[in-house]
Amino acid sequence: MPRLYLHVALPVPLRKTFDYSLPASFTQQPAVGSRVLVPFGQREMVGIVLSVSEETDSPPEKIKAARQLLDEHALFPSYMMQLLTWAAQYYQHPIGDVFSSALPTLLRQGEALYDNLSHWRLTPAAEGLSATQVSRSSKQQHAWKALEMHHHHGISEDFLLHLGIRRDTLLALRKKGWAEEFGQLQRKIEKPSLHYAESPLVANPHQQQAINAISQHLGAFKVFLLDGVTGSGKTEVYLQTIASCLANHQQALILVPEIGLTPQTVARFRARFAVDIVMLHSGLTERERLRAWRRAYLGQAAIVIGTRSTVFTPMPNLGLVIVDEEHDLSFKQQDGFRYHARDLAILRAQFSHCPVVLGSATPSLESIANAKTGRYQLLALQQRAISHQETPVKLIDLRGQKLKDGLSPALQEAIQQRLHAKEQVLIFLNRRGFAPVLMCHDCGWQAKCPRCDARTTLHRQPLRLHCHHCGFSQLPPKHCPDCHKEQLFAVGAGTVRIEEALQQLFPHTPIHRIDRDSTRRKDSWHELYQAIDSDKAAILVGTQMLAKGHHFPNVTLVALLEADSGLFGADFRASERVAQLITQVAGRAGRAHKAGLVLLQTHQPEHPLLQQLLQTGYQGFVDLALAERQALALPPYGYLALLRAEANYPETALEFLSSAVSCGMNLPDCPEFWGPIPAPLAKKAGIFRAHLLIKSPQRPVLQRFLSIWLGKIAELPDIKRVRWSIDVDPQEL
């Protein structure tokens, strides 16, 4: 027998794989994509087998034997191997880290995929009975229906729990002889099927066209851009195409933004489909996450919904991929393995030969450009599904106005009117806390973070200054540290201050604040929905958390307090983000049958972007912005990568990047370098940061250059003095 070597990806920051020999103790040859436990230095590590061959580049006497095979079958089926290998190369990230970040933590740590959870199924005696014949208890009827739906394979106890069915209910059914427990977990790949819990709505003609276009392509790769204003019924299009996918016994994967996985979204899917739905969100325990992952992996879960990293969940019968709010920044991982989940979702669909739908009311310029060239098929929903009226958007000129904590008299008046009519008002301000600046009246001193180039935000209850960049916090000083006077005052407003001001102005109206501080607890969203009585006047104050996925039917006025904040950012995408935010926020007004109004407070009423948005909406803005990008050869008409460096001294990072430029100049296909420059927040948590932008007119050229250049950079003499990373297709500069 020839000697076989395993080529293994290990979670170490090295851009290579490691070879191990196959010990005699292994009873089977490891499958590609399975985990092995191997010795590494003084430790043991969990690695992924990328390939098995007779060849090795290492001297055979240096090669150690793998210790233990952890999986009988591949955890990463071939389409996942394809996706992750591609991603490691494209994002220029160490392959071991790519594979390990694609796994739930417990699997990464070597935990067994299968545990000994018991399963339940109906007994043969129960066949053909109906729920009412079985029991009068509604809990037992519920359990019965779930078991009946899955009577071929039985259901695992964790999934039953997930459906709200407790063990004592199952035991009661067992006592009557209708149900039985069995130990074996089904390890066979299953195929889901379609079970409705409620009937679909009747699609309007635009929706029907979209549904047909997508459904006709099930079974083949194609990218659709579903461009529809908020409330135009995109979710209904998703639901009905998912139904076609399930009818083919295939699984659907739905990616949502971080703050888009709201109880309302979840409830809509559960209300429509009586199938196994997996939700992957940050509230799961590691054990729950592993079991959810396993249900997807075994094909039991018909629908998998989750944020960014859900794109890595293996699904043996994947038939449809949906990316909701595809423009959202949270799809881009901002540290470590900096992938873009929307872009990987497209590749995933390609490898699984299925359609992918990118949906948004404000698509990214990248996706719109792809639709214009015909690479994506555009599906437009131009009208709101329920109320057909447009929501007017008006500017409030703040110049020379007397403001009450950031609220202009015109806005106060408009709020009063809505409250009077027992309607609700939504107020946005993208800053939590009480006030962004604590300042000395006498000398102009401002409270800053000692570890960052940033001011600290004043919070009340408890009274502290917080840095929103590094987490630093301290008690506010009683006196100015510079001039020792006592006249310190809070400048500017955060959500807490606005809440207080509104409470004074409208003392009899319930006011709800929604930001990261107020929604930290697990049930806070639920409580919030309970508290907001849709028949009564109320004011909601919040950060952009409120802009997505939430539906408050009685909101008729939406106000943005600082519509121009962000207009002057250094990032070339700043204007795109402002346009998206304003459009999305505006979509929250008048979603039901009542007429809505959007008010934008600004000091820059003549700003061309605001004027363009007002006159032509997001579409008009897009045409203008695309022309601008084209002129500058910026994405989507050029391709970028960002080399970031961090060091303990201000000059070190810049010097390192300069040597990186010099070594790149000598290479073939050298792209344009912009920089190096200090990063926008040059000092963060005591570390100095700089970056270098790399720009090329062609993606493959940039890719070729990066793979050679990064190898050279790793050999630079000052590499040890910095922490560096490469960000391909950076979203934030």
* Least distance from ligand ADP to the Cβ atom of residue 261, Å: 14
- Contact in structure between 192 and 299 (CB atoms under 8 Å): yes
Q: Does the protein bind ligand ADP through residue 385 (CB under 6 A)?
A: yes
Q: Which structure tokens are listed for 185?
A: 């977990």
The annotation status of 670 as a binding-site residue, yes or no, is no
DSSP-derived secondary structure letter, 28: S
Nearer to Zn ion, 472 or 673 (CB): 472
Label residue 82 exposed, middle or buried (CB < 10 Å: 0-12, 13-18, 19+). middle
* Least distance from Zn ion to the Cβ atom of residue 451, Å: 5
- Residue 472 interacting entry, from ligand ADP, Zn ion, none, C-beta within 5 to 8 Å by type: Zn ion
Which one of 112, 129, 386, 443 is in contact with ligand ADP (CB under 6 A)? Answer: 386
- Residue 483 interacting entry, from ligand ADP, Zn ion, none, C-beta within 5 to 8 Å by type: Zn ion
Contact set with Zn ion (CB under 5 A): 440, 442-443, 445, 449, 451-452, 467, 469-470, 472, 480, 482-483
Rounded Cα distance between 274 and 713, Å, is: 54
Rounded Cα distance between 175 and 723, Å, is: 63
- Residue 204 interacting entry, from Zn ion, ligand ADP, none, C-beta within 5 to 8 Å by type: ligand ADP
The annotation status of 354 as a binding-site residue, yes or no, is no
Rounded Cα distance between 146 and 274, Å, is: 9
Per CB under 6 A, contacts with ligand ADP among 470-529 are none
* Least distance from Zn ion to the Cβ atom of residue 475, Å: 16
Q: Tell me: cis bond preceding 60? Omega within 30 of 0 counts.
A: no
Nearer to ligand ADP, 359 or 638 (CB): 359
The annotation status of 245 as a binding-site residue, yes or no, is no
Q: Which structure tokens are listed for 151?
A: 């009577």
With CA atoms as reference, report the closest residue to 225 among 210, 235, 236: 210
- Residue 346 interacting entry, from ligand ADP, Zn ion, none, C-beta within 5 to 8 Å by type: none
Rounded Cα distance between 113 and 601, Å, is: 54
Q: Which structure tokens are listed for 311?
A: 């794109």
CA distances from residue 614 to 34, 106, 382 in whole angstroms, order as listed: 55, 50, 17
Q: Does the protein bind ligand ADP through residue 236 (CB under 6 A)?
A: yes
* Least distance from ligand ADP to the Cβ atom of residue 243, Å: 14
With CA atoms as reference, report the closest residue to 328 among 353, 362, 297, 351: 362
Nearer to ligand ADP, 235 or 313 (CB): 235
Q: Does the protein bind ligand ADP through residue 207 (CB under 6 A)?
A: yes
In this chain, which stretch among 151-159, 233-241, 300-308, 613-621 interacts with ligand ADP, using CB under 6 A?
Answer: 233-241
Nearer to ligand ADP, 94 or 587 (CB): 587
Which one of 17, 141, 232, 240 is in contact with ligand ADP (CB under 6 A)? Answer: 232
CA atoms within 13 A on the CB side of 14: 7
Nearer to ligand ADP, 230 or 424 (CB): 230
Q: Does the protein bind ligand ADP through residue 261 (CB under 6 A)?
A: no
Nearer to ligand ADP, 204 or 416 (CB): 204
In this chain, which stretch among 111-119, 202-210, 444-452, 559-567 interacts with ligand ADP, using CB under 6 A?
Answer: 202-210
Q: Which structure tokens are listed for 711?
A: 């190898």
In this chain, which stretch among 145-153, 223-231, 277-285, 409-417 interacts with ligand ADP, using CB under 6 A?
Answer: 223-231
Nearer to ligand ADP, 233 or 542 (CB): 233
* Least distance from Zn ion to the Cβ atom of residue 468, Å: 8
Rounded Cα distance between 583 and 199, Å, is: 31
In this chain, which stretch among 198-206, 307-315, 341-349, 436-444 interacts with ligand ADP, using CB under 6 A?
Answer: 198-206
* Least distance from ligand ADP to the Cβ atom of residue 268, Å: 8
Label residue 53 exposed, middle or buried (CB < 10 Å: 0-12, 13-18, 19+). exposed
Which stretches of 112-267 are assigned E, i.e. beta strand?
119-122, 155-156, 179-182, 222-228, 251-255
The annotation status of 480 as a binding-site residue, yes or no, is yes
In this chain, which stretch among 231-239, 562-570, 657-665, 687-695 interacts with ligand ADP, using CB under 6 A?
Answer: 231-239
* Least distance from ligand ADP to the Cβ atom of residue 589, Å: 13
Torsion angles phi and psi, residue 311, rounded to 5: -60, -15
Q: Does the protein bind ligand ADP through residue 602 (CB under 6 A)?
A: no
Helix, strand, coil proportions of the chain in percent (round to 5)? 35, 25, 45
Rounded Cα distance between 600 and 558, Å, is: 9
- Residue 385 interacting entry, from ligand ADP, Zn ion, none, C-beta within 5 to 8 Å by type: ligand ADP
DSSP-derived secondary structure letter, 201: P
- Contact in structure between 391 and 590 (CB atoms under 8 Å): yes
Q: Does the protein bind ligand ADP through residue 234 (CB under 6 A)?
A: yes
- Contact in structure between 374 and 578 (CB atoms under 8 Å): no
CA dihedral 545, 549, 551, 557 (to 10 degrees): 50
Buried b (16+ CB within 10 A) or exposed e, 661-691: eeebeeeeeebebebbebbeebbbeebbbbb
* Least distance from ligand ADP to the Cβ atom of residue 236, Å: 4
Nearer to ligand ADP, 200 or 283 (CB): 200
Which one of 30, 94, 104, 231 is in contact with ligand ADP (CB under 6 A)? Answer: 231
With CA atoms as reference, report the closest residue to 312 among 590, 476, 112, 97: 97
Rounded Cα distance between 409 and 491, Å, is: 19
Which one of 1, 24, 202, 631 is in contact with ligand ADP (CB under 6 A)? Answer: 202
Nearer to Zn ion, 321 or 438 (CB): 438
The secondary structure of 390-458 as a DSSP string is PPPEEEEE-TT---BTTB-HHHHHHHHHHHHTT-EEEEE-S--SSBSEEEETTT--B-B-SSSSSBPEE
Using CB under 6 A, count the residues that bind ligand ADP.
15
Residue type, 409: P
Which one of 47, 233, 355, 433 is in contact with ligand ADP (CB under 6 A)? Answer: 233
The secondary structure of 582-609 as a DSSP string is HHHHHTTSS-SSS--EEEEEES-TT-HH
In this chain, which stretch among 234-242, 609-617, 618-626, 628-636 interacts with ligand ADP, using CB under 6 A?
Answer: 234-242
The annotation status of 443 as a binding-site residue, yes or no, is yes
3-class DSSP state of 63: coil
Q: Does the protein bind ligand ADP through residue 306 (CB under 6 A)?
A: no
In this chain, which stretch among 21-29, 80-88, 232-240, 283-291 interacts with ligand ADP, using CB under 6 A?
Answer: 232-240
DSSP-derived secondary structure letter, 389: P
The annotation status of 467 as a binding-site residue, yes or no, is yes
Which one of 83, 95, 147, 203 is in contact with ligand ADP (CB under 6 A)? Answer: 203
The annotation status of 452 as a binding-site residue, yes or no, is yes
Give first-to-last CA distance, the chain, whole Å.
55
* Least distance from ligand ADP to the Cβ atom of residue 546, Å: 14
- Residue 234 interacting entry, from ligand ADP, Zn ion, none, C-beta within 5 to 8 Å by type: ligand ADP
- Binding-site sequence positions for Zn(2+): 440, 443, 449, 452, 467, 470, 480, 483
The site for ligand ADP (CB under 6 A) is made up of 201-204, 207, 228, 230-236, 385-386
- Binding-site sequence positions: 440, 443, 449, 452, 467, 470, 480, 483
